[in-house]
């Protein structure tokens, strides 16, 4: 059977189980349990002797061309019939029928074994009594208790020897990530030591002595049960730490930590007991069906523990409040989640009872994988939270956290695939060493999945490193400083570098995956080169934009957050694409300008800005006094705490710029940081107006004097006055 068939069998078996349940509901045929095959009578003919005459006759017949043709036709017909029979055997309907029959036979076998189960138990008890005596079971229990006590004694000695280390752990600070990782590593080593001490004290002395075979197997099996329970308790305390909250790896409250530790220990203990008991009953001579019935009954206990855990699990504090955000309204409620988990757990038990193991492993992976991924993500984020923070930060996670989380996620996916392969009967070693086409395809697909998972880890690690650097450079600090220029350049180049890395990682991962699947990638690379040349000729403007953008960035012509102007386009640089720059105008409009259309770029956000002011005063104003006042205003602005970091050279008067028709033009200038001159300019003009008004310096403005019809003009008044004065002089 090829290794790909169990994948289809898992789907077919689910349908077969449903059909088998329907058959059981309708009822079994009356002769299903009593029908036995009848042996047919066949006559045995005596052996015929091969005489030389018969051999010659046979050779003559084979030499006949007609006979040979007839034999060839018969052989071809038989081959065709065999292929049709194989096709019918491998059809979906045949698979469905075979699985239905297998499920039905399994249930019938269990039903036939049930009445004989007490007799088999009596036989097993007789074997135990014959081998161990009348008090054999009590002897087994006493020895188990003795060796378990020895195990706890050695464990107590180990704890006593490491008491100083544990006391040091209790006092060790857990503020930084390195401190928490160091404590986790120490606690892990201590947990391994506890388990090893218990195993050494309980199983070690038992194995050193010589025991009867049956007694040895029974005691060792029950000691293994206690060892598995101890391992479950130690692992639960290591992850959940119900008595020391600051050591807790999985972020839950104390009530939930104690709840989960108890349920995990109970589940593992019952599972280990059933596993050991199944093997011991085989040693005592019980049939397979009888042992399966015992296992199914113990499985009901596991089912009860799982259902009780689902419905009585503590509610997290953040889940107790009704979600108010729109993103959380679409999540399933607690009752719906419990119902779905309960249905999945019951379905697992039913599939196990019906011996549909392929479907069992599929449902188990579907249920457990999302839960494992969620718990792993929460644990990693809690363990690697920033220093001095009790909760996970809202910013980008650390690179270590992403690598650890994605690495564990990849391992979980690989483990789930391995579990499915084992449950479906796929031999991974055969896949790696096989030479047929189906084996090579399956091996190539698995290799491609592993390559893509590794590429996912690498990409998220590099992306997180870039995002953290962008978050650190978001605060530019003081303008026109080396730190501000460096941060602006990082904000400009890192997004482009991130996009390039994404394309490179995806391209390399896809090519490696195709190569692992047996697809020749050399023609693909050559074809991509030819296609790139063709696209380059067909999209010259696009290529020109890309090349121009590269040179703009190499020349450091502009950065994100700077104000530039190129022709009719001006605004603050908001971002880049591979071929264009996005500018935000001060009035809100957004320009998306291809790099090839920019041309000469005027950057108004570099180094410094000189702002020039012009005011006009009347001709009768005191220019020297105005100069002193402007100088004093410049010094006051330079000492203002709000404007002092922004002014490089204070405001000062350069002198008289022009003598106008109605005003004397005074020219002033100041040097500020780029883009910071506008508020300083407004404040300076307001102070100049106030100072000039207080010192009698008048601002000049054009005036027009128009004479009305009812009012005599000045010339007319003068002429009239002259006429009146002339007669008086003559007299």
**What are the pLDDT digits (tens) for 576-610?**
777 788 888 888 888 888 888 888 888 877 778 88
In the numeric block, the tokens 């059977």 are attached to 1
Residues 269 and 289 in one domain: yes
> Which of 257-266, 550-559, 707-716 has the highest average model confidence (pLDDT)?
257-266
Question: Are 423 and 358 a contacting pair, CB within 8 Å?
Answer: yes
Residues 514 and 539 in one domain: no
Q: Which residues contact 426 (CB under 8 A, 6 or more apart)?
A: 3, 4, 6, 7, 420, 442
Residues 511 and 659 in one domain: no
Residues 185 and 281 in one domain: yes
- 323-336 pLDDT per residue, tens: 444 444 445 567 88
C-alpha triplet 239, 243, 248: angle, nearest 5°: 30
Q: How far apart are CA 376 and CA 361, in angstroms?
A: 21
Please give the model's pTM, rounded to 2 decimal places: 0.60
Residues linked to residue 593 through DSSP beta bridges, in sequence order: 581
The CATH number covering residue 544 comes to: 2.30.30.60
Region label for 571, one of left (φ > 0), alpha (ψ between -120 and 50) or beta (otherwise)? left
pLDDT band at 498 (very low <50, low <70, confident <90, very high): confident
Residues 583 and 621 in one domain: no
The CATH number covering residue 644 comes to: 3.30.70.100
Largest CA distance in the chain: 193
Q: Which helix (H) or strand (E) holds 157?
A: helix 136-161
Closest residue by Cα to residue 149 from 200, 201, 192: 201
Range with the lowest mean pLDDT among 48-52, 95-99, 613-617? 48-52
End-to-end CA distance of the chain: 152
pLDDT band at 505 (very low <50, low <70, confident <90, very high): confident
**Count of domains in the chain?**
4
Q: Please report whether residue 614 resides in a domain.
A: yes
CA distance readout (Å), 179 to 171, 189, 378, 602: 12, 16, 19, 51
Q: Which pLDDT value is given to residue 136?
A: 67
Residues 245 and 262 in one domain: yes
3-state secondary structure of 279: helix
Q: How far apart are CA 341 and CA 347, in angstroms?
A: 10
Question: Are 469 and 541 a contacting pair, CB within 8 Å?
Answer: no
- 272-303 pLDDT per residue, tens: 999 998 888 888 888 888 888 888 889 899 99
Residues 542 and 616 in one domain: no
Structure tokens of 41? 């009578």
Q: Please report whether residue 62 resides in a domain.
A: no
Pick the last residue of a domain from 262, 293, 315: 315
Q: Which pLDDT value is given to residue 229?
A: 93
Q: Please report whether residue 7 resides in a domain.
A: no
Whether the per-residue pLDDT at 337 is higher than 60: the answer is yes
DSSP track, 8-60: HHHHHHHHHHHHHHHHHHH---TTTTT--PPPPP---PPPPP--HHHHHHHHH
Question: Are 394 and 339 a contacting pair, CB within 8 Å?
Answer: no
- 147-157 pLDDT per residue, tens: 899 999 999 99
CA distance readout (Å), 263 to 246, 375, 504, 640: 22, 17, 47, 68
Residues 579 and 619 in one domain: no
Judged on CB neighbours under 10 Å (0-12, 13-18, 19+), 652 is middle
Order across the sheet with 602-603: list the strands. Answer: 590-594, 580-584, 569-576, 563-566, 602-603
Whether the per-residue pLDDT at 321 is higher than 60: the answer is no
Pick the last residue of a domain from 315, 339, 358: 315
Q: How far apart are CA 107 and CA 116, in angstroms?
A: 15
Residues 512 and 575 in one domain: no
Pairing type for strands 563-566 and 602-603 reads: antiparallel
State the residue range of the domain holding 199. 135-315
Mean per-residue pLDDT, 374-382? 83
Pairing type for strands 647-659 and 664-672 reads: antiparallel
Residues 618 and 592 in one domain: no
Q: How far apart are CA 5 and CA 16, in angstroms?
A: 16
Q: Which pLDDT value is given to residue 54?
A: 67
Mean per-residue pLDDT, 667-671? 88
Question: Are 603 and 564 a contacting pair, CB within 8 Å?
Answer: yes
Q: Which pLDDT value is given to residue 476?
A: 58
Residues 564 and 622 in one domain: no
Residues 596 and 614 in one domain: no
Range with the lowest mean pLDDT among 30-34, 99-103, 705-709? 30-34
What does the CA dihedral 485, 488, 493, 494 come to, rounded to 10 degrees? Answer: 120
Question: Are 516 and 448 a contacting pair, CB within 8 Å?
Answer: yes
């Amino acid at each position: 059977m090829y290794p790909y068939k169990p994948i289809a069998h898992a789907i077919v078996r689910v349908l077969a189980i449903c059909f088998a349940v329907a058959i059981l509901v309708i009822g079994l045929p009356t002769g299903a349990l009593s029908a036995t095959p009848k042996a047919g009578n066949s006559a045995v003919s005596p052996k015929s002797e091969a005489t030389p005459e018969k051999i010659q006759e046979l050779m003559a017949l084979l030499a006949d061309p007609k006979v040979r043709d007839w034999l060839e036709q018969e052989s071809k017909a038989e081959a065709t019939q065999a292929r049709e029979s194989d096709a019918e055997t491998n059809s979906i309907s045949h698979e469905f029928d075979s699985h239905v029959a297998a499920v039905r036979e399994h249930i019938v076998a269990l039903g036939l074994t049930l009445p004989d189960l007490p007799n088999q138990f009596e036989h097993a008890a007789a074997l135990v009594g014959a081998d161990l005596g009348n008090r054999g079971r009590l002897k087994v229990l006493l020895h188990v208790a003795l060796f378990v006590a020895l195990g706890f004694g050695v464990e107590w000695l180990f704890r006593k020897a490491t008491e100083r280390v544990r006391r040091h752990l209790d006092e060790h600070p857990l503020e930084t990530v390195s401190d928490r990782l160091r404590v986790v590593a120490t606690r892990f080593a201590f947990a391994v030591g506890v388990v090893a001490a218990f195993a050494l004290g309980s199983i070690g002395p038992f194995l050193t002595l010589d025991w009867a075979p049956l007694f040895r197997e029974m005691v060792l099996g029950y000691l293994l049960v206690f060892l598995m329970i101890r391992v479950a308790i130690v692992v639960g305390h290591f992850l959940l730490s119900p008595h020391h909250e600051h050591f807790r790896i999985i972020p839950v409250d104390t009530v939930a930590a104690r709840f989960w530790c108890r349920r995990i220990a109970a589940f593992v203990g019952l599972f280990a007991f059933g596993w050991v008991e199944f093997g011991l009953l085989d040693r005592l001579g019980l049939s397979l069906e009888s042992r399966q019935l015992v296992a199914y009954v113990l499985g009901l206990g596991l089912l009860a523990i799982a259902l009780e855990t689902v419905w009585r699990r503590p509610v997290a504090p953040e889940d107790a409040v009704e979600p108010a955000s729109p993103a959380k309204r679409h999540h399933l409620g607690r009752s719906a989640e419990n119902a779905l988990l309960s249905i999945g757990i019951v379905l697992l038990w039913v599939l196990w009872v019906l011996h549909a193991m392929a479907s069992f492993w599929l449902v188990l992976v579907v249920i457990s994988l999302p839960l494992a991924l969620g718990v792993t993500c929460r644990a990693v984020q809690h363990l690697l939270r920033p220093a001095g923070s009790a909760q996970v930060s809202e910013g980008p996670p650390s690179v270590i956290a992403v690598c650890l989380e994605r690495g564990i996620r990849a391992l979980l996916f690989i483990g789930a695939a391995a579990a499915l392969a084992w449950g479906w009967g796929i031999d991974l070693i055969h896949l790696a060493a096989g030479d047929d086409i189906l084996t090579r395809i399956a091996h190539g697909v698995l290799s491609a999945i592993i390559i893509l998972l590794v590429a996912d880890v690498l990409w998220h690690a590099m992306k997180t490193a870039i995002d953290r650097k962008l978050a650190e450079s978001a605060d530019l600090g003081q303008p026109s400083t080396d730190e501000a220029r460096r941060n602006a350049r990082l904000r400009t180049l890192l997004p482009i570098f991130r996009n390039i890395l994404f394309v490179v990682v995806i391209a390399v991962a896809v090519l490696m995956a195709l190569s692992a699947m047996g697809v020749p990638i050399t023609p693909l690379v050559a074809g991509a080169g030819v296609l790139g040349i063709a696209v380059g000729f067909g999209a010259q403007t696009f290529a020109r934009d890309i090349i121009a953008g590269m040179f703009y960035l190499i020349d450091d012509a502009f950065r994100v957050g700077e104000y530039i102007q190129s022709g009719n386009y001006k605004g603050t640089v908001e971002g880049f694409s591979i071929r264009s720059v996005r500018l935000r105008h001060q009035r809100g409009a957004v320009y998306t300008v291809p790099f090839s259309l920019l041309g000469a770029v005027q950057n108004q956000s570099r180094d410094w800005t000189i702002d020039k002011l012009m005011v006009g005063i009347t001709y009768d104003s005191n220019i020297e006094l105005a100069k002193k006042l402007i100088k004093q205003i410049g010094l006051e602005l330079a000492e203002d705490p709000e404007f002092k970091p922004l002014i490089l050279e204070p405001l000062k008067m350069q002198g008289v710029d022009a003598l106008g028709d109605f005003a004397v033009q005074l020219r002033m200038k100041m040097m500020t940081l780029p883009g910071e001159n506008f508020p300083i300019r407004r404040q300076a003009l307001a102070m100049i107006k106030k100072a000039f008004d207080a010192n009698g310096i008048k601002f000049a403005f054009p005036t027009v004097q128009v004479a009305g019809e009812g009012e005599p003009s000045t010339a007319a008044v003068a002429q009239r006055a002259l006429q009146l004065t002339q007669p008086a002089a003559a007299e």
